[in-house]
Chain A
Amino acid sequence: MKVNKRQGSDLLPIQLASIPAIVVVVLTATVILYSALTLSATNAKLSNQPAEFVGVNNFLAATEDQQFIESLLSQALVTTLSVSIEISLGLLLSYAIYKSTKRVQSFAIVMLVIPLSISQIVIGSIWVFLFNHAFGLVSYVLNSLSIRTIDLMNDPSAALLLVVLADVWQWTPLVIIIMLAGMRTLQRNIWDAAEIDGASDIAVIRRIVVPALRPFIIIAIVLRILESLKIFELLIPFQGTVSLPNFYIFTQSFHYGELGYASALGLLLFILSSSILIVFLRIRGER
């Protein structure tokens, strides 16, 4: 639509009404960034005692912080495993749901919202207890099949896999919902023909669904990667067996009161997650 001069000036009330939103976003971002930069250059403590300027020392300390580096490595493992499982499972299941009747579809959507509506601390507890060595249901079933179980709370790498499992359980539904939303934008007949020609479900998904849903898959991957960098509450029931960066920053700031150092770690994590976002925007822009 061509906007002529009269209509342009006509927009003034709407322009004025937009100002609050712009101000809120820009101001919040500026204030937080400024505060993060100044705070991370000090040795500020939670207890409000006067802080001293320490320059880049916090960032230098971070590179030598073994626990922080370990938490980053754990994060890489958790993210890789959970995101790849979630995307593949999500594709398979969304295709099966899409192919079923309308009634199954709407029932499935209601079911899928359940894991998404429960907070991660409850989900973490559920899985920790399902696998509880003494009275968990999964341990019971495995034991009665005479499979030996281990106490996950004493085995950090096994506990990490349990984190992946809980994450997959909670977030695969989101991937399914995103894929279903994507499939609704496609024309149904593009895969019906392939099916009549005898292509298997897996072949249809690989050759037709994946290329057609590319933008949706990219978004699902990025949302999931960024979201998995935010894992925090899920780890509370693990009681320190597992530590991921976001959780580690929390313990640094609120258990040890190292606000300045934690703020520096937070900036590093911010740089990591925004570079993932920027790479994604590039990929999306090339489309």
Chain B
Amino acid sequence: MPFFRHFTRVVGLAVAAAIVVGPIAWTLIESFKSEEDLISSTPVWLFAPTLEPYRYLLVSGSSFLPGRSFVQLLLNSFVVAGSSSIAAVLLSLPLAFLISRVRSNWFSRFSTPLLYLSFAFRMVPQFSIAIPLLNVYRTLGLTDTLFGLILLYSVLNLSITLPVFSGAFSRISPEVNDAALLDGCSQSTLFLRIAIGSIAANIFSALPLAFLLSWNELPYARILTRSDALTAPVGVLMMIPPPKDFDAEVFQFMGSVAIFQILPAMILVLLLRRFVLRAWEDYIVD
């Protein structure tokens, strides 16, 4: 029985791992095949690798982008995802601290809906928000600006940072708190010197989550950018080789794109592996 139990678990996990990795591995392999080998009706196992899809993605495909190269779009994405994640952290730290400190009734009557509101921004179908937002951005002249995107993504990222940080702050042990206050430490010194430091792990778990979600975001960027502020996901959409009918060529192209999405995520996860589960634990327990 123990052997059988162990056996089924191991086999189950192995099959699951194969199902997760298989399609990705297949896609990456196919992206190095020549088109001829790709559309052959029996799979070709040995082939002369080609880098054409990658050349297309980084160089020649840029002719479909309005005066920009894909590398520039990657840079845009990096700037937008990076600054909106950091902005969300900076914006939410004081508010989260306040939420965890102030226990008065009127304040929680105000802060709880605020938390849900920030959560709703992330969870509502994007086009419910994007269409009215486009209207507003047009009036304010924010369409197709990096600032406009950063502003929107910061609000979206608050839905991650606010609940995680306020939960983390409220778990700081009361002894630490009282000791600091007794020693004449003011609340703001406590906040800056002690509280932020003791939730560093939570900050490092929320940051990559916020970064990745902004890095791959398409629907809002698709609607709010045209040329100057294009991000990589929108560029990918524009660069789908014509006629955009998802043939073998498009598939190869997608394979080459996948690398640019997997790599940053992999690097972040390998660096911050021990924070991945923690991020969700924080997010849900609180």
Contacts and interface: CB of A to CB of B under 8 A. Distances in A.
Interface in B85-130: 91-92, 94-95, 97-98, 101-103, 114, 116-121, 123-129
A28 to B, nearest CB: 5
A253 B41 CA distance: 39
B125 A269 contact: yes
Given A3-B101, A118-B261, A254-B223, A140 B127 contact: no
Interface residues of A, number: 100
A232 interface: yes
Contact of A122 (B19, B181, B258): B258
B38 interface: yes
Contacts of A66: none
Interface in A1-19: 1, 3, 7, 10-11, 13-15, 17-18
Contacts of B134: 259
B74 interface: no
B217 to A, nearest CB: 9
Contacts of B48: none
* Main secondary structure on B side of the interface with A: helix
A61 B22 CA distance: 45
A35 B265 contact: no
Interface in A115-168: 115-122, 125-130, 134-135, 137, 140
A203 to B, nearest CB: 12
A246 B132 CA distance: 14
Interface string B37-78: 011111100000000000000000000000000000000000
Interface string B1-20: 10001001110110011011
B248 interface: yes
Which of A14, A116, A266: most chain B CB closer than 10 A? A14
Contacts of A97: 13
B187 A112 contact: no
A116 B208 CA distance: 13
Contacts of A1: 174, 177-178
Interface in B256-275: 257-258, 261-262, 264-266, 269-270, 273
B254 A122 contact: yes
B273 A11 contact: no
A60 interface: no
B13 A108 contact: yes
B265 A262 contact: no
B246 A25 contact: no
A169 B23 contact: yes
A245 B127 CA distance: 10
Contacts of B265: 113-114, 116-117
Contacts of B198: none
B218 interface: yes
Closest 9 pairs between A and B when the two form their complex, measured CB to CB: A117-B265, A17-B94, A35-B132, A266-B128, A36-B132, A18-B95, A181-B280, A125-B254, A270-B128
15 contacts: A14-B98, A18-B95, A24-B91, A25-B121, A28-B121, A113-B266, A113-B276, A120-B218, A126-B24, A180-B277, A227-B123, A233-B218, A266-B125, A266-B128, A270-B125
